[in-house]
């Protein structure tokens, strides 16, 4: 598992938006290099007016608007760093100001994998609602059916079926959430559900020491595929799911998470590496 430079002690802010872009430069006109979802603890590396260069738990760095962050006071623990938390298991989950879906619009909509602090778990009303605390310390409510507690890591065998939950979600350059994935962000998320933290981008993933080369003839579901002009020029990745097919987030033809055939000429000519978890 990839060790993280963003330890609990080095977290200096939490993401306060459902998903926050990370840019290559401190400007919204710069390219998006990655994202971080609500509540993620980040370390602040550098500051410029209105911007902070942050590092996420997967060791990725980029510039984020200061308005997307809640900075921690000295000695203050990061959000969801301790106590009881729930993890969003629905692709999206609405958070409300009271335990009622009809009285007001949601406070926000958070994405799959978001961790949220639990304040109370009332037993009335069929135990439908959970009271939570948000990053800005407001209280709110989320439906129990949208979250899980202490979900066990998936096995490699279970990962192929699990991955199909995301079919049709939009492709988004730099995307790391259910609001939109790019290819390496999607694969990184899938492996995270096994308890494995892959590097953020496709080339570093293919080069990562935690993965071993595998021949195309020996592919098994859960293996990772890497595409590009050469093994040193990888630009795309997906996960093999069996029967000559793989799932990926791609902008090719239909910009979404989809199932593609490895035998298609477009993909066959670009396949340069395959990897399996050691």
User: Mind listing the pLDDT tens digit for each residue in 122-152?
Assistant: 886 568 999 999 999 999 999 999 999 988 8
Q: Which CATH class is domain 8-71?
A: mainly beta
User: Mind listing the pLDDT tens digit for each residue in 268-277?
Assistant: 999 999 999 9
Residue 153 has pLDDT above 70, yes or no: yes
Annotated domain spans of the chain: 8-71, 85-148, 156-277
Predicted structure pTM score: 0.93
How far is Cα 41 from Cα 81, in angstroms, rounded to an integer? Answer: 9
> What is the pLDDT at residue 74?
87
Residue 250 has pLDDT above 90, yes or no: yes
How far is Cα 115 from Cα 80, in angstroms, rounded to an integer? Answer: 7
Residue 48 — very low, low, confident or very high, per pLDDT cuts 50/70/90?
Answer: very high
Count of CB atoms situated within 10 Å of the CB of 20: 22
Task: Judge contact between 156 and 222, C-beta under 8 A.
Answer: yes
How far is Cα 152 from Cα 89, in angstroms, rounded to an integer? Answer: 12
Q: Do domains 8-71 and 156-277 have the same CATH topology?
A: no
Residue 189 has pLDDT above 90, yes or no: yes
Mean pLDDT is highest, among 65-79, 140-154, 173-187, for 173-187
- Could you confirm whether domain 156-277 is CATH 3.30.230.10? no
Residue 9 has pLDDT above 60, yes or no: no
Residue 102 has pLDDT above 50, yes or no: yes
- Could you confirm whether domain 85-148 is CATH 2.30.30.40? yes
User: Mind listing the pLDDT tens digit for each residue in 198-230?
Assistant: 999 999 999 999 999 999 999 999 999 999 999
Residue 253 has pLDDT above 60, yes or no: yes
Residue 25 has pLDDT above 50, yes or no: yes
> What is the pLDDT at residue 10?
83
């Amino acid at each position: 598992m990839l060790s993280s430079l963003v330890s609990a002690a080095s977290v200096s802010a939490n993401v306060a938006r459902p998903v926050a872009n990370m840019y290559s430069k401190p400007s919204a006109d710069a390219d998006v290099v990655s994202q971080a979802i609500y509540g993620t603890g980040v370390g602040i590396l550098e500051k410029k007016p209105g911007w902070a260069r942050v590092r996420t738990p997967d060791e990725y760095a980029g510039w984020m608007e200061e308005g997307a962050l809640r900075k921690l006071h000295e000695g203050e623990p990061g959000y969801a760093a301790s106590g009881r938390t729930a993890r969003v298991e629905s692709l999206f989950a609405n958070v409300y100001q009271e335990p009622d879906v009809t009285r007001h619009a949601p406070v926000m909509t958070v994405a799959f994998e978001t961790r949220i602090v639990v304040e109370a778990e009332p037993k009335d009303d069929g135990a439908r609602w959970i009271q939570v605390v948000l990053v800005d310390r407001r209280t709110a409510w989320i439906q129990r059916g949208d979250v899980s507690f202490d979900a066990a890591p998936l096995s490699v065998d279970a990962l192929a079926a699990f991955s199909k939950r995301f079919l049709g979600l939009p492709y988004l350059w730099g995307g790391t959430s259910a609001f939109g994935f790019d290819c390496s962000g999607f694969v990184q998320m899938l492996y995270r559900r096994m308890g494995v933290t892959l590097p953020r981008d496709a080339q570093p993933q293919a080069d990562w020491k935690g993965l071993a080369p595998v021949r195309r003839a020996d592919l098994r579901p859960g293996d990772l595929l890497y595409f590009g002009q050469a093994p040193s020029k990888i630009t795309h990745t997906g996960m093999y799911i069996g029967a000559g097919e793989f799932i990926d987030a791609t902008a090719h033809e239909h910009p979404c998470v989809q199932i593609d055939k490895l035998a298609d000429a477009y993909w066959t000519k670009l396949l340069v590496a395959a990897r399996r978890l050691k």
